[in-house]
Structure 1
């Protein structure tokens, strides 16, 4: 026995296997604990994101959401849940609402500027549009009176038809224009013939007719009394001539054949251009002194002049 090594009993193999299995189980437990920790962390992060999204959705008012950029509401995570998507959608919808309200506000401001500033003189008539038909109604329903007394008596004595419709402005017929005695007695300094010519319905006077009356200035328009006649081309010329007579302290006779249509239209244009009257007011003013009846074409041209003056802001209202 002395020459041999001492006998050592062998360790049982199941012990090694148990040790290896214990080590593996420890490693597995550690791994599982690490995985559980990671999953818990992920769940906590997800729950935090959910709770944050829910808090934004329920606590923040709509006006605040409109002011928050959409990029701020997006969560930097691949697994964005439905609540976060809802928050982002609310933010985008609030922004579009704000844009719509802003555009509506601009539209309302533009309408206010256009209606009450650019078209301020057209607080005019209910329809904001002057037409020939409207002037026909005004002409039909306006009261008409002739001046009694001295002027009407003189007209009868001299067999003329003439009325002073505005201070210094007379509307008369062809007989009044040709009666030089009457003109001198009335102190007429200017004569405007709105029917100059030799055709039917015209009055054949001219500069030569008043040659023996050096104090009288004459102007003539070769027009016929027809709705198709373009009398509007004489509006400003007639207004300037009438205004020169009145401003110089004189008196002017505006006449045509009977003193109702062409001559009356020229006087109405003067009152509108130089005296800032509307077409309706001018007709009422003249009708209080004389029965006038411009044809429908002339009334429409006066209506066009009325709208032109309104657009140019030449009326005081």
Structure 2
């Protein structure tokens, strides 16, 4: 097992993420919790799904994150006529050389912004499955590695809106977290009007770090310590979703792995070298709810999977912080 990050390493991580947060919040005002969770997903090397009605800033948040990192960015506008090859790329025959040349698609970038992902057909959506899980793309029988770090930030409108296709369960399970942007407060909306009255704040956003720097922060985050008690707590939460009568599909083992990794990302941003149950609790709804399928009774009663996960978090026993701290000291 690798040693946990040293205090100077954590200080550097916190300073970098603080600068990224400040830069993003100059564009996406009044949503500190949303921005911090977005950065936690980045540190956990996950993928992010932003869901809400049009016009609340989903794409703006994705573009703001991309602007804070000096890296390659791919933008995909999902439409019903989009083909899988439009995402992954195609082989083009060159008459001069009598050979096929591979032309990479927009997924061959460090950050891929997928706008309105649920407007594309399920066939096109499925082209991202291999990319998101294995960081590779297979085209005409040949597999190509994707760059690292690799982050998909997808936006979608509620499925009841016209012209949308629900994401299949396998696709949703590959997103580490689903976040709802929501409407800003009155004060934040007034600030937004002032900021964007005569200029686009995205135009003056400058990179805070680069792709290599983000990859280093990701490696550092993975080295954070998670006690046996915290890991058991993660498994208890996931198991509870599989046993809940209000759900017909519980969380997968992948969900447990990604919940722990996301909790490490959140812990790292606070400068801690270990995960607390509080980190897991604060991310449980965002990481678990979108993977679950409610029972018929839950749908008829209007009970959402977010509410079910919140209830599970409230009733599952939380490990004592003192025990977690003792385990951490013994490890160190």
Higher share of residues assigned strand: 2
* Fold match (TM-score > 0.5): no
TM-score by length of 2: 0.26
TM-score, normalised with respect to structure 1:
0.27
Larger helix proportion of the pair: 1
Which structure exhibits the higher relative contact order, with contacts defined as CA atoms closer than 8 Å and separated by 6 or more residues?
Answer: 2
